[in-house]
Amino acid sequence: MKGLVSARQSAIIASILIFSNKILTLPSLLSGFAKGDAIFILLMMFLADLGVLCLFFFLKNRYKTQCFFEILSSHLTKPVAIIIYIFLFAYFLMKLLLNFNSTQMYFKTQVYHDAHIFIFLFTTIVILATSILGGLRALARTIEFFYIPLIVGLLFCLFISFANINDIPVLFDTSFKSFFTGAFKYTFCFGDFLILFLLMHKIQIDKKWENNFLKYSIFSMSLILVEYGLFFSIFQFTGFLHTNAMSDIIVLSYKFFDIGRLDIIAIITIMLLTFCQIGLYGYAMCEIFNNIVSRLSVKYSCAFVILCFSILYLLFFNSLDFLVEITTIYLPYISILFQYFLPILTIFLRKKIHSEVAYE
Amino acid sequence: MFFSAEEFLNTTKKDLHNSSDVGSRTLKCNDKTVAMIFLKSMINQELFSDAIYKPVKNSNCDVSNKTIEKVILCDNVEDAEFSQAVEKILKGYVIIFIEGEKNLISVDIAKFPMRSPSEPPTSPVIRGPRIGFTEDLKTNLTLIRRRFYSEKLVLKDMKIGRYSQTQICIAYLDGIADKKVVKEIQHKLKKVDIDGVVDAFYVGKFLENRPNSLFKQIGNAEKPDIVAGKMLEGRVAILVDGSPIVLTLPFILIEDFQNSNDYYTSNHYATLIRYVRIVGFLLAVIASGIYISLRLFHFNVIPTKFLITITDTTQAIPFTPFVELLFITLLFQVLYEVSLRLPSYLGLATSIVGALILGDTGVNAGLISPPGVIVIALAKIAVYTIPEQAPQLTVLQIVFLILGGSLGLLGIVGGMFYLINYLNRIDSYGAPYLAPYSPRVNSDLKDGFTKKSLVDMKKRPMSFSNKNITRLK
């Protein structure tokens, strides 16, 4: 059917989103609470996310062609489904804003010292428009195309940072309270499989499709764990000072083989990774908006998403510190509700329904 | 039906608007008048005289269509309706009218200026077949037929062009090519109502799903071995009379990274060369953009020694780096256009003026910098690692130069993302444009950027639909 994406492409989408908001700022933020034990926070959250993935398998196997909105509407009535989707729109908008904000700060400190914010904003808007208007199939294929270069870039960064290791990370040095406070405050940075529920009707499953998801997701999670391991091995107790983890871990290898600044590899990799994630968040928001306001042209949905993002960023969320504060104070509750309780709710959704969704 | 030869000749000449190259002969044979009409510019006049005119004139038998057909010393003699007379004359036939007969006789002795098959300048090979297509459809069909002594080769004729009446031939292998694709091509071509078709590219534009796109969506080849190879993979070939280019469909981008040389040489060497082409492709598209973005936005990334060299050579340049690179790009493009159109004996003069006077003197005068010239020259030369994509690469080069100059690396990476997303939206008769890489088709990777041996390629490409997947048993 037109507009569908393969299980492999969907697995790659999930795998790319796992890196979102985790490889740059999060290691330093978590290190403030849990130091080297942040690795265990990560491990714990990843296990919870894998649980969510299993719930997605369960739901997808039950409702092979139905859309998540339809499932919610038929079980919980349409107004409730719309309310949930409005919150989901806000949730993904915040994810997009956090992702954009942290990466543009990173680029500003690394290579765009005097650049105007509109350089970043313009590029992001073009990427959002391209991803939304091009449709999920083109976006999934694009991410599939860039997947290997992205992984090679990340592996390269991790590989050369091995040269900078001073000692093994200090573990079991945090109290339970700090550990769980850190985990709770940054819950928002996890739960990346939620997007799969929104796109479930566009995923074409085949035999052993679950294996693809598990394989790609566990690989991405392993890479992040390795990055955290390296980060805490290199910076030990000063980790909280290094806000651009992926770039900072190779900072001592600048003159590796006398090639020049090698962090350019990290910069390009993160640029590409961010564009893929921004495109996916934008598409997810458009999908949500189309369900809330049905029969609306995709152009208008795209314009609405871009408008929401631009206005909110320019008026309220143009400071990373402010955004992080919001993320840690208000968003953990909403995150837990949507990232974990909503998927758990799907276990109880068993009514048979007929699809009314038209594919792209 | 006409009663007299004179009436027939007058009517036919009138239908042909009394064109200056219309020729006619009238003979009296055994009390019957025989009229012959033809286009002097389209027939072999010597053959006409020796094989038609003289034998008919000297015949003593009863004059009728049957007897005259036996007298004529040509192979292609057949009966024709009166309604077909003008069409056949226009194709280079001689039409013979015998008073009292219900039908005409047509004799094909067409002769046009035609070059013999030779190696096309765009597809030379070190080893492998050198023969190329010509402008004659019949010759081209023969060249394809010679590759397939099988009844499975199907040729379907059609005509396009209200005035040109150009003959088009759709060729495919029955049992391999997808009939749906063939039908879709036929359907699209039948809908074409154009005044004339001058070349195969005229037809190609009507077969593209996105005719306004920068990217080519139809394959083209000038050699029968390439077309035969593509037909064996399940593609459909479209031959156009008057064009040495044969179009092939469906088309995917990877085809332009493949070269006929790759199939006549070692796999390892072919793989290496394909990777060189990828590097060439990337250099052509983004080298100038990356250089300008590093100079303008991210100079702290450039190694110190290199940065000092660049600064030394560029500090006296009166233009901004962006204007300087744009100027060198335009200069190169102007020189390229001039060298294409100037007679060959002036080519040397152009090289001297371009390379020595404009380039060297420009650098010495401090108008352009040596690194700028090197980067643009490298990017321009790299365009021709994939000559089939040269127009597209040239446009992309300028787009990425502007992106790099205005947004830096963010513009380059964003541009690449946009480009790949756009290419992923292009679909050529069910074949994704960037297959077998996105979407990934594992079995087709054997003939992707990496080339495996023919022995390993047991299946036909699965990036587009085929009726028969097995290639090697």
Of all residues in chain B, the percent with pLDDT exceeding 70 is 99
Mean pLDDT across B27-49: 87
The yes-or-no verdict on residue B151 having pLDDT over 60 is yes
Question: CA angle, A10 as apex, A100 and B418 as ends, to 5°?
Answer: 50
**Domain extent for B170:** 137-251
Question: Phi/psi zone of residue B18: left (φ > 0), alpha (ψ -120 to 50 degrees), beta?
Answer: left
Domain boundary, last residue among B89, B108, B127: B108
The yes-or-no verdict on residue B185 having pLDDT over 80 is yes
Q: Say whether A112 and B410 touch across the interface (CB within 8 A).
A: yes
Domain assignment present for B462: no
Q: How far is CA A180 from CA A37, A44, A174, A176, A226, in A?
A: 11, 10, 10, 6, 21
Q: Is B297 on the interface with A (CB under 8 A)?
A: yes
Angle, in degrees to the nearest 10, between helices A209-235 and A26-34: 60
Q: Are residues B95 and B215 in the same domain?
A: no
Q: Is B301 on the interface with A (CB under 8 A)?
A: yes
> Euclidean distance between the first and final Cα of chain B, in Å?
61
Of all residues in chain B, the percent with pLDDT exceeding 90 is 43
Residue A149: strand pairing partners: none
A311 contact partners, CB below 8 Å, separation of at least 6: none
B8: its two tokens? 């027939």
Domain assignment present for B23: yes
Q: A46-60, A272-286, B160-174, B305-319: which has the minimum mean pLDDT?
A: B305-319
Q: Say whether A260 and B301 touch across the interface (CB within 8 A).
A: yes
Question: For the residues of A137-173, what is the DSSP string, one character each?
Answer: HHHHHHHHHHHHHHHHHHHHHHHHHGGG--SPPP-S-
The whole-chain average pLDDT of chain B stands at: 88
Interface probe for B, chosen from A109, A126, A133, A145 (most Cβ of B below 10 Å), is A145
Nearest-CA distance B435 → chain A (Å): 10
Q: A114-128, A326-340, B210-224: which has the minimum mean pLDDT?
A: A326-340
Of all residues in chain A, the percent with pLDDT exceeding 90 is 41
Nearest-CA distance A107 → chain B (Å): 9
User: What element of type H or E holds A45?
Assistant: helix A38-62
Q: A338-347, B56-65, B119-128: which has the minimum mean pLDDT?
A: B56-65
| Neighbour-count burial of B210, counting CB atoms closer than 10 A to its CB (0-12 exposed, 13-18 middle, 19+ buried) | middle
Q: Is B438 on the interface with A (CB under 8 A)?
A: yes
| Residue among B306, B407, B417 whose CB faces A275 most closely | B417
Q: A89-93, A277-281, A294-298: which has the minimum mean pLDDT?
A: A294-298
Residues of A in contact with B417 (CB under 8 A): 127, 130, 142, 146, 272, 275-276, 279
Q: Say whether B408 and A115 touch across the interface (CB within 8 A).
A: yes
Residues A3-62 pLDDT 10s = 689 999 999 999 999 998 888 888 888 888 878 788 889 999 999 999 999 999 989 988
Domain assignment present for B57: yes
Residues of A in contact with B441 (CB under 8 A): none
Q: Are residues B382 and B357 in the same domain?
A: yes
Q: How far is CA B239 from the centre of its chain?
A: 9
Q: Are residues B282 and B402 in the same domain?
A: yes
State the count of interchain CB pairs (< 8 A) between A and B.
Answer: 94
User: Which residue, among A61, A80, A23, A94, has the nearest Cα to A292 in the 3D structure?
Assistant: A80
Q: Are residues B73 and B160 in the same domain?
A: no
What value does the CA radius of gyration of chain A take, rounded to a whole number of Å?
Answer: 20
Q: Provide the CATH topology of domain A5-348.
A: Amino acid/polyamine transporter I (1.20.1740)
Domain assignment present for B302: yes
Q: How far is CA B283 from the centre of its chain?
A: 26
Whether B197 contacts B176, CB under 8 Å: no
Angle, in degrees to the nearest 10, between helices B370-383 and B321-341: 50
Q: Do you know the residue count of chain A?
A: 360
Whether B354 contacts B348, CB under 8 Å: no
The yes-or-no verdict on residue A256 having pLDDT over 60 is no
Residues of B in contact with A130 (CB under 8 A): 417-418, 421-422
Q: Say whether A111 and B298 touch across the interface (CB within 8 A).
A: yes
**Bond prior to A332 in cis (omega within 30° of 0):** no
Domain assignment present for B469: no
Q: Are residues B419 and B284 in the same domain?
A: yes
Q: Say whether B302 and A279 touch across the interface (CB within 8 A).
A: no
Q: A1-10, B106-115, B451-460: which has the minimum mean pLDDT?
A: A1-10
Whether B137 contacts B126, CB under 8 Å: no
The yes-or-no verdict on residue A110 having pLDDT over 60 is yes
Q: Check residue B153 and give its pLDDT.
A: 93
Phi–psi pair at B427, nearest 5 degrees:
-130, 125
Domain boundary, last residue among B224, B251, B278: B251
Residues of A in contact with B306 (CB under 8 A): 260
Domain boundary, last residue among B185, B216, B251: B251
Whether A95 contacts A323, CB under 8 Å: no
Q: Check residue B424 and give its pLDDT.
A: 94
The yes-or-no verdict on residue A357 having pLDDT over 70 is no
Q: How far is CA A178 from the centre of its chain?
A: 24
B207: its two tokens? 């077969």
Residues of A in contact with B410 (CB under 8 A): 107, 112, 119-120, 123, 271
User: Which residue, among B269, B232, B258, has the nearest Cα to B153 in the 3D structure?
Assistant: B232
Q: Say whether A111 and B422 touch across the interface (CB within 8 A).
A: no
Q: Say whether B414 and A275 touch across the interface (CB within 8 A).
A: yes
Domain assignment present for B11: yes
Q: How many H-runs (helices) and E-runs (strands) does chain B carry?
A: 17, 12
Domain count along chain B: 3
A105 contact partners, CB below 8 Å, separation of at least 6: A243, A320
Angle, in degrees to the nearest 10, between helices A117-161 and A7-18: 90
Q: How far apart are CA A301 and CA B120, in angstroms?
A: 52
Residues of B in contact with A123 (CB under 8 A): 407, 410-411, 414
Q: How far is CA A300 from CA A297, A307, A333, B167, B379, in A?
A: 6, 10, 31, 47, 40
Confidence of residue A359 (pLDDT cuts 50, 70, 90): very low
Q: Say whether B410 and A107 touch across the interface (CB within 8 A).
A: yes
Residues of B in contact with A127 (CB under 8 A): 414, 417-418
Q: Is B378 on the interface with A (CB under 8 A)?
A: no
The set of long-range contacts for B357-360, using a CB threshold of 8 Å and a minimum separation of 24, is B358/B331
Interface probe for B, chosen from A5, A121, A130 (most Cβ of B below 10 Å), is A130
Nearest Cα residue in chain B from A5 = B439
Interface probe for B, chosen from A9, A108, A111, A269 (most Cβ of B below 10 Å), is A111
Domain assignment present for B58: yes
The yes-or-no verdict on residue A336 having pLDDT over 60 is yes
Q: How far apart are CA A32 and CA A182, in angstroms?
A: 8
Q: How far apart are CA A344 and CA B161, in angstroms?
A: 65
Q: Say whether B414 and A135 touch across the interface (CB within 8 A).
A: no
Q: Is B413 on the interface with A (CB under 8 A)?
A: yes
Domain assignment present for B66: yes
Q: Say whether A138 and B425 touch across the interface (CB within 8 A).
A: yes
What value does the CA radius of gyration of chain B take, rounded to a whole number of Å?
Answer: 29
Q: Please report the sign of the dihedral spanned by the C-alpha atoms of residue B131, residue B135, residue B139, residue B145.
A: positive
The yes-or-no verdict on residue B129 having pLDDT over 60 is yes
Question: What single DSSP character describes residue B422?
Answer: H
Q: Check residue A24 and give its pLDDT.
A: 85
Nearest-CA distance B368 → chain A (Å): 26
Higher pLDDT, B193 or B58: B193
Whether B223 contacts B191, CB under 8 Å: no
Nearest-CA distance B119 → chain A (Å): 37
Q: Are residues B272 and B186 in the same domain?
A: no
The two most distant CA atoms of chain B are separated, in Å, by 102
DSSP helix/strand/coil, B205: helix
Q: Are residues B346 and B418 in the same domain?
A: yes
Provide the Cα torsion A171, A176, A177, A178; round to 10°.
Answer: 10
Whether A157 contacts A246, CB under 8 Å: yes
Question: CA angle, B76 as apex, B71 and B79 as ends, to 5°?
Answer: 75
The yes-or-no verdict on residue A282 having pLDDT over 60 is yes
Cβ neighbours of A83 (radius 10 Å): 14
Q: Check residue A360 and give its pLDDT.
A: 43
Residues of B in contact with A9 (CB under 8 A): 439
Q: How far apart are CA B374 and CA B376, in angstroms?
A: 6
Interface probe for A, chosen from B309, B437, B438, B449 (most Cβ of A below 10 Å), is B438
Most confident of A19-33, A87-101, B109-123, B356-370: A87-101
Nearest-CA distance B266 → chain A (Å): 27
Residues of A in contact with B434 (CB under 8 A): 141, 145
Residues B23-33 pLDDT 10s = 999 888 877 88
The yes-or-no verdict on residue B97 having pLDDT over 60 is yes
The yes-or-no verdict on residue A358 having pLDDT over 50 is no
Mean pLDDT across B349-370: 78
Q: Say whether B407 and A260 touch across the interface (CB within 8 A).
A: no
Confidence of residue B67 (pLDDT cuts 50, 70, 90): confident
The yes-or-no verdict on residue B353 having pLDDT over 90 is no
Q: A84-88, A351-355, B296-300: which has the minimum mean pLDDT?
A: A351-355
Q: Are residues B319 and B275 in the same domain?
A: yes
Nearest-CA distance B127 → chain A (Å): 34
> Euclidean distance between the first and final Cα of chain A, in Å?
9
Mean pLDDT across A89-103: 92
